[in-house]
Amino acid sequence: MSIYESIGGAGAVQAAVDDFYARLLSDPQLAPFFADVDLKRLKSHQRAFLAAALGGAQIYQGRDMAAAHAGLEIGESDFDAVVTHLVATLTGLGVPQETIGQIGGLLAPLRSDIVTVPVTT
């Protein structure tokens, strides 16, 4: 059984995306990234991306992560905040910690495509 099926399929992904974006939009650090974004379209892309990434039958046809996030100046702390909100969303929806870890393992490699602001020392 895929992760997609184990968490409840399309309904669970939709609930997760809705809760996730509510969290992101209420976070003062992250909300500015979404100021001029068509959220309905973005949520649709996010649902398709997650469904495909988690083993659902859907095919993600959006841009690759580097292209989708180019020019947004996303830093390490921004990425980490998004991860925190995703974990909180999944935990709140009753997804087992082991499954959350598996999802994190699938998404963690995207950090290098999404984070575009170099770490300063």
CATH no. for 3-114: 1.10.490.10
Confidence category of residue 121, pLDDT binned at 50, 70, 90: low
* CB atoms closer than 10 angstroms to residue 56: 20
Confidence category of residue 117, pLDDT binned at 50, 70, 90: confident
Given a cut of 90, is residue 5 above it in pLDDT?
yes
Given a cut of 80, is residue 118 above it in pLDDT?
no
Given a cut of 90, is residue 25 above it in pLDDT?
yes
Nearest in space to 65 (alpha carbons), one of 16, 3, 12, 113: 113
Its pTM surpasses 0.85: yes
Give the pLDDT of residue 120: 62
